[in-house]
Amino acid sequence: MAKKKDEQKVYIDAPVVDQPITETLEQNFMPYAMSVIISRAIPEIDGFKPSHRKLLYTMYKMGLLNGNLTKSANIVGQTMRLNPHGDAAIYETMVRLSKDYEALLTPFVESKGNFGKVYSRDMAYAASRYTEAKLAPICAELFRDIDKECVDFMDNYDSTTKEPTLLPTTFPNVLVSANLGIAVGMASQVCGFNLAEVCKTTVAYIKNPKVDLYKTLPAPDFPTGGELLYEQDALDEVYNTGRGSIKVRARWRYDKDENLIEVYEIPYSTTIEAIMDKVVELCKGNKLREITDIRDETGRDGLKIAINLKRGTDPEEVMKKLFRLTPLQDSYPCNFNILVGGTPKQMGVREILDEWCAWRYECVRRRVHYDLGLKKDRLHLLKGLEKILLDIDKAIKIIRETEEEDEVIPNLMIGFRIDEKQAEYIAEIRLRNINKQYILRRISETSDLEDEVKRLEEILGDRSAIMDIIVEELKAVEKKYGTPRKTGIITDFTLDAPASEEKAVEDYPVSIFLTGEGYFKKITPQSLRMASEQRLKEGDELVRTVETSNAAEVIFLTNQQQAYKCRMADFDDTKASALGDYLPAKLGMDPGENVVFMFLPGAYTGNLMLFFENGKAAKIAASAYDTKSNRRRLTGAYSGASPLVSAFFLEGDDEFAMHTSDGRVVMFSSASLMPKTTRSTIGVQVLTMKKARTATKVELAATSGILNPSRYRTRTLPSAGAPLRPEDIGQVQAELDI
């Protein structure tokens, strides 16, 4: 026991060593950051991240390039020998590379089963035990001559096997495959280009580095199709710097018989659900009154969003509005950040082609050097065999007369003046092949080998010859695997209005009415003159009536500290005989949320006075509710620290009477409070709080009915107020009864 106590004491008394933050960053954070950048998130010049490369190489070693489909779970399990990050991450990588997922213009995995869709967030892929996969035929171009030492190999994470550092792709896959990666302190987002166009462009660039890239590579191409809005300045920025954004919009058609719009291709950067959610939101806000219904009809025939229109609606005008207000037109950001020699580098298209050509040149050079070495070795062996032809009997005699087996090779070397490799090759010839016919056949290869060795040596000494090989391979890939581009290019899109452009709102006088249960009416003066008696729900009552115009803005505050900004034009004109719009449903409020106050901000020059149960008052400038963007819902509209008792909107200052739960009144001017620009301010203490005292009611002093206001006025805040006298109570009661 004593020993344990001593050990415990040593542990407790151990000194704490302070470490400077710079040292912590250097020893712990920087290695992690570099690992994420180099070994995980940023693609390399072959167009792949390590996770892609490990998966594809595993499938290649499994014989899935020419073999049959196998269960995805089998592939995932085998890949874990190279990628220890877990089966879920590996399978997700395979899904993205698959043909059925449609995330790549040129998919590398042939798939069978449910692999989901890139354009749908709800269409999830099935588990790996249910799906099957193999390598697509184009993967032959990824692994061509990989066994000829054209790329470097390294140990896997536990040094039990080897894996390639890069794949010797015969085409610039770095531009063909779309890629997104987020590292530490940097990111990469490469848009895809059409395979055939990339191959043509690379060939043209090899022949002339100053070639006009737009002639063969007009714009990016996306697997989900759509239409690219051709903006020369934006494309120049992307092509030259590797940064920028590209606008893409959906493709659609109009069914006249059904009076509906069918969207069948959408931007690559969005999903069906995101589009539908936005359209529904706009319809609820009366910003898309022309639409009656929207449905997702995606099926085996492909993507389809059906949008039903009201009778007499112009589909062209509806689509202009949808392009302006929804993700049916979206921007794809570009950031061509690529690892070159282990260093992240942001490059334009021309610089990427230059780096790829330099890397591919080295791959082909190493492959030719490997082939040359094999040819030379074969020629060397045949040269030794040629010497045996001069005297086969002598070779047989040397072997027969050699008593020890270990002396056969040295004796042949001495007898025919050949080296050890040649002697070893001759000694391994079977007895039945020691005849002139066999030997002459082997020697007949010599002249062909000599010509081949000479040709390969000439290629190694001539850079242009290697580049010609690269060009021929590019032309072969284009011819065999090239497909037409999916994304159309639009140069005339002047009809598309900017996001801030809105139709002019018709302006005319209206009267608005708000009831206690949240019903809202907007009625024209003509309609009021015809019938002014308001129809209300049983038990409901009018709490606010205002005369304004149809172009004015209105803000509703709710019991959940949210504000809803609307225009009068968002509401339909109605009649006094109607109940009106139920605001919680009309504005899409949360469950249990109700309107507690309504005000018209006008030019946002006034102040909002809010009074709380804890005796505090907040004076908030109306400008705090003015937003540059056309947002409908503002969270944190006012403080929720205490329940709201009363609210007023003032253009100037006024005097208020605050009533307390113990029968006191405090009268003060709003000028004594400074306006705040923070909506969630808790306010200033007006009422001195004692025991269970709370504020119960706040009125404008002029309409409070108090006969002797000086008795209750205060110059300093907070104040306990004065007890309400009977005559003031009577006056208030009398006015309330009127």
At 286 the three-state DSSP class reads coil
Nearest partner of 453 among 384, 378, 375, judged by Cα: 375
Report which residue type is found at 139: C
Report which residue type is found at 154: M
User: Which sequence positions are flagged as catalytic?
Assistant: 130
The Cα 425–Cα 423 span in angstroms is 5
Residues 6+ apart with CB under 8 A from 99: 107, 109, 110, 111, 136
Strand order in the sheet with 616-621: 644-650, 607-612, 616-621, 684-685
β-pairing, 488-490 vs 227-229, is parallel
Cβ pair 582, 516 in contact under 8 A: no
Residue 653 CB neighbour total at 10 angstroms: 14
β-pairing, 337-340 vs 343-346, is antiparallel
Angle between helices 72-79 and 87-97 (to 10 degrees): 120
Tallying the residues shown for the chain, one arrives at 738
The Cα 97–Cα 10 span in angstroms is 56
Q: Token digits for 705?
A: 């009915």
Report which residue type is found at 672: S
Phi-psi region of 417 (alpha: psi -120 to 50; beta: other; left: phi over 0): left
CA 366, 370, 371, 372 dihedral sign is positive
Cβ pair 683, 618 in contact under 8 A: yes
Residues 6+ apart with CB under 8 A from 104: 96, 97, 177, 178, 192, 223
Residues 6+ apart with CB under 8 A from 232: none
DSSP string, 634-669: EE--S--SS-EEEEEEESS--EEEEEETTSEEEEEE
The Cα 256–Cα 186 span in angstroms is 49
Nearest partner of 145 among 173, 165, 167, 175, judged by Cα: 167
Q: Please report, in angstroms and rounded to a whole number, the separation of the first and last CA atoms in the chain.
A: 89
Cβ pair 648, 658 in contact under 8 A: no
Phi, psi dihedrals of residue 503, rounded to the nearest 5°:
-65, 145
